Amino acid sequence: MKIKLIFLLTIVLITNLFPQVESALQVFTRGSLWHSVLYGKSGSSFNDWKKSGPSLDWPAFDASWIREDIGGSPTHLATGGFIVGAKKTNDSVLVVEDWSIYAGTVSTEQNAKYIVKKHGHKYKNGENYFLKKNDKEGEEVIETIWEYNTNYIVDSTIEERQLPLRVTRRVHQWSGNAKDENYILYEYIFKNIYTEIKQIAPDRHVVDSLKDFIATMTYAMHSNSRAWTVIFPQLSSGARNTWFFYDSNRKMMYGRAADYPLSTSNEEFGFSPLMGRVVNGKVQGEYLAPGYVGVRLLYSSKDKTGGTTRVAKYGWSAGNNTLDLQGPLTGVPGTNEGKYAMISDISNAYQYVTSPADTTFMRKNRMWSLMTLGPWDLAPGDSIVIAVAEGVNGADYSFAIDPTVTSSKINTEAQKAFNLTMDKAKFTYDQYLAGYGLNHPDPPPAPKFTVEFSKGEVVANSLTWGNEAENVPDPDDGIDDLIGYRIYRSDFLPIGPWVTVANIVRSDPTYYDLTSGKYTYIDTAVQIGLAYYYSIVSYDTGRASWSVNPTARIPETNSNRVPPLESSIFANRTLTPFLATLKAKDNPNEVLVVPNPFVIGEGFSRPGDSDQIQFVNVPNPSSIRIYTIRGDLVKKIEVGANVGGIVTWDQTSDYGQYVESGIYIFHVESPSGIKIGKLAIVR
């Protein structure tokens, strides 16, 4: 009880002192790319490449949405950020700080080396979705500030080694925009606050100027954890078959899943013959890692060489495959001098790799991507800016589960999509440098919608939405440019494959009711007893030119012409599958069980559907009880008043255990009567 009280008092103290500091792990979970950031680094907590939260998950979904294990979430990052260091004189190292692997010196603790003053979402409740509040930054923004802590105490016999810095980091994502949702943009401002520190603590020994300040980008990327978990479950976390490259024109390090040379099969793009759709009992196969992952330097302040946005050196460090806790610092002398020698010359990193053509470690080890930036000299009051983009994109998911698609086709489509994504990130930051804010052309907002079963005799799903999105003008020019809506449907997973089922022009009287201001679309192209995901997006027809910056060249058109844009499928999708059902019956004697007998492995396609038994023509409301042949109650299902005539059972008992093969008795009780019958399960 005493420990709990101390903990609560600590939380209260932190809240009072730093009301702008929220929980350590801040996440983006909207759109197709999910991610998290901690106080001093990118990604969730690092623990030997094990997943501990969203970290460049693409295409994004929560593993709990899927009824069957398909390898977990598609994470592409274990950790990332900068390892920074500087000298106090031209020939004496001050300190090196890890703000990439653990960032353990950045904390809310009162005696932390670097104290967190701000950390959290700027728009806490989605106020800037579709840029309704501010079109000069991301729809979602996470702001963090950490700085030199004057309360940090060291032994009086030990020379004080702290960087007199304030680091301001702003993280931006455009999660509702199909063209710009697959990258995350970071801007770091490193400022020497020596003068401020001395005003607070005049007797404290503080280094005034930083000499040869180095920032080495240090990223543990892989493509991706889902594929590696499925194909090599017996090996340690972190995909070893990621093949990394460097694009000197884009100043970008990136990788994709390749064949793992130490296995006999071919795992290009994480291909697994045991995953994907199951059609009539036959697995179709799936590319589990159809995307590219990378980090791009967008801008860095002029360094001592006179270069702006200059990469001093790049390369990779092959992590230990058994236990990797220090990454490129493994085996490096633990002194500040030893670590500074590594970040200033990354050839000193652990198991350094210079080329994608390396055959010793590349595609065989967990790889750390390194880019050295700097050096800079920072006098009191000086600042430098570094902007980077993290991104993932790849082939459309329909390719990933199509058994006729080749790995070369996946590669062509994936790299094209990824390069465009990272070019869009550069375009967005270039607008900021030109004085237009973090800006790019934007689609119209998507409408909120509902799905329910059609009350008619025909099996159909009914989608309804309002016209609210039509009252939101484009943030760039104030013009209401919403032309229409597209309805997408997936019959497999919440990541697709998505197919277009309707294209509805604005105010079309076939679907729009002028009196209610509501649209209704009846989807009759569904099969009874199957479940579907839906998304509704809004679209425009583009512009002849982009009025914000007439001189800008938009990557998709290589001109100032704006292409047609649409909102994100992922930002406006149903998260659970909707069952295509019939109108409920009144007579329980019409209740049927399908399939009966149930034989696992026949005719299903969605993960988890292999375990679904359906009761058809069920009255609403009613109760369904399932018993063993000897009368033991296995499961009780309460059926609501308006759920439709089909109810599914996943063959688990009330205790969460799968039932065994055998004969079972079902008992349906409703206000209009009782039905008793038998069903058989063959596993």
Q: Which two tokens stand for residue 353?
A: 């790799």
Residue-level pLDDT at 604: 57
How far apart (Å, rounded) are the C-alpha atoms in residues 676 and 593? 11
pLDDT digits (tens, 9 = 90+) for 302-318: 999 999 999 999 999 99
How far apart (Å, rounded) are the C-alpha atoms in residues 395 and 73? 17
pLDDT top residue among 298 and 204: 298
Residue-level pLDDT at 76: 98
Judge contact between 175 and 181, C-beta under 8 A.
yes
Q: Which of 407-421, 498-512, 554-568, 640-654 has the lowest mean pLDDT?
A: 640-654
Check pLDDT > 90 for residue 579: no
How far apart (Å, rounded) are the C-alpha atoms in residues 173 and 436? 17
Residue-level pLDDT at 93: 96
Share of the chain above pLDDT 90, in %: 81
- pLDDT class for 629, splitting at 50, 70, 90? very high
Residue-level pLDDT at 69: 84
Residue-level pLDDT at 601: 57
Residue-level pLDDT at 14: 45
Q: Which contacts of 455-458 are long-range, i.e. CB under 8 A and separated by 24 or more positions?
A: 455/583, 456/583, 457/583, 458/524
Torsion of CA 119, 125, 131, 132, to 10 degrees: -130
pLDDT top residue among 649 and 508: 508
Instruction: Give the mean pLDDT of 361-388.
Output: 98
Instruction: Give the mean pLDDT of 456-480.
Output: 91
Let me know how many helices (H) and strands (E) the chain has, helices first: 6, 37
Mean pLDDT of the chain: 93
Check pLDDT > 60 for residue 431: yes
- pLDDT class for 134, splitting at 50, 70, 90? very high
Helix (H) or strand (E) holding 23, with range, is none
How far apart (Å, rounded) are the C-alpha atoms in residues 562 and 548? 11
Check pLDDT > 50 for residue 1: no
What is the greatest pairwise CA distance in the chain?
91
Check pLDDT > 50 for residue 4: no
Check pLDDT > 60 for residue 8: no
Question: What is the SS3 assignment for 95?
Answer: strand
Report the CATH number of the 449-579 domain.
Answer: 2.60.40.10
Residue-level pLDDT at 94: 96
Instruction: Give the mean pLDDT of 239-261.
Output: 98
Residue-level pLDDT at 600: 61
- pLDDT class for 5, splitting at 50, 70, 90? very low
Q: Which of 155-169, 386-400, 467-481 has the lowest mean pLDDT?
A: 155-169
Residue-level pLDDT at 15: 47
- pLDDT class for 10, splitting at 50, 70, 90? very low
Question: What is the SS3 assignment for 488?
Answer: strand
Judge contact between 452 and 441, C-beta under 8 A.
no
Q: Which two tokens stand for residue 422?
A: 């990272």
Torsion of CA 97, 99, 101, 107, to 10 degrees: 100
Cβ density class 625-654: b for 16+ within 10 Å, e for less: ebeeeeeeebbebebeeebbbbbbbebeee
Residue of 517, 520, 515, 490 whose CA lies nearest to 504 = 520
How far are the Cα atoms of 20, 119, 128, 345, 682 from residue 125, in angstroms, in the given order?
Answer: 15, 15, 8, 44, 49
Check pLDDT > 50 for residue 621: yes
Check pLDDT > 80 for residue 478: yes
Residue-level pLDDT at 632: 94
Instruction: Give the mean pLDDT of 362-373.
Output: 98
Residue of 291, 146, 314, 307 whose CA lies nearest to 219 = 314
Residue-level pLDDT at 160: 75
Judge contact between 613 and 592, C-beta under 8 A.
no
pTM here is 0.90
Q: Which residues pair with 371 in a beta bridge?
A: 217, 314
If you search the block for the tokens 């016209």, which residue do you land on?
467
How far apart (Å, rounded) are the C-alpha atoms in residues 460 and 453? 6
CATH class of the domain defined by 588-682: mainly beta
Instruction: Give the mean pLDDT of 211-220.
Output: 98
* DSSP string for residues in 342-362: HHHSGGGSTTEE--TT-SSST
Cis amide leading into 621 (omega within 30): yes
Angle at Cα 491 formed by Cα 500 and Cα 487, nearest 5°?
Answer: 25
Residue-level pLDDT at 608: 64
Structural domain boundaries of the chain?
25-433, 449-579, 588-682
For residue 73, give the DSSP letter.
-
Check pLDDT > 60 for residue 107: yes
Instruction: Give the mean pLDDT of 10-39.
Output: 81
Q: Where are the beta strands (DSSP E) in 303-418?
A: 313-318, 352-353, 367-378, 383-394
How far apart (Å, rounded) are the C-alpha atoms in residues 411 and 418? 10
Phi-psi region of 105 (alpha: psi -120 to 50; beta: other; left: phi over 0): alpha
Residue-level pLDDT at 159: 66
Residue-level pLDDT at 12: 47
Judge contact between 247 and 308, C-beta under 8 A.
no
Neighbour order of strands in the sheet with 578-579: 499-505, 484-490, 531-539, 578-579
One fold for 449-579 and 588-682: yes
Residue of 330, 310, 311 whose CA lies nearest to 320 = 330
Helix (H) or strand (E) holding 247, with range, is strand 242-247
Which residues fall within 8 angstroms of residue 153, CB to CB, at 6 or more apart? 111
Residue-level pLDDT at 566: 98
Residue-level pLDDT at 406: 96
Burial of 416 per CB tally in 10 Å (0-12, 13-18, 19+): middle
Residue of 290, 328, 282, 262 whose CA lies nearest to 83 = 328
